[in-house]
Amino acid sequence: MENAGKIAQTCFFVSDIGLQGRGVYFSVYPPVKVIGFDLWPIHQWPEPSFKSEVLRLNYDDDGANESRQDKVNAVIIVKARNAITKEVADRPGAICISDTDYCHKRANYMIKDAIAKIVQLV
């Protein structure tokens, strides 16, 4: 939750190492059951396996790394235009928004204005 608050204040950090290239990475799947949204491939919060499965989906084997354990304690809901989102290969439900598509230039931080809500899961 502390990291989510920092993101809300300073924006999302643009990653240079993602599968889709430079950008900010998101999941299109909500962490909880939403009526009419049956695409969620794994258990939903607060089921005990939710955290480990989300970490595995996002980080592969590195999801078990201790440094990743606080990465699924909050959800930041972002609203973005479909035209600027790109699906990430081999990561069902993952999308990337590149800095050049969103800011029309290289940027280190972005998307603060698209944050709709922050929800704590734990």
Q: Is the pLDDT of residue 37 over 60?
A: no
Distance CA 41, CA 39 (A): 6
Quickly list DSSP for 20-56: TSSBEEEESS-SS-BTTB----S--TTSTHHHHHHHH
Task: Quote the pLDDT of residue 105.
Answer: 95
The tens digit of pLDDT for each residue in 9-31 reads 989 999 998 888 999 999 887 76
What is the pLDDT at residue 36? 59
Residues 6+ apart with CB under 8 A from 61: none
pLDDT at 48 (0 to 100): 73
Q: Residue 72 pLDDT more than 90?
A: no
Kindly report the backbone phi and psi dihedral angles of residue 10, in degrees, each rounded to the nearest multiple of 5, phi listed first. -115, -5
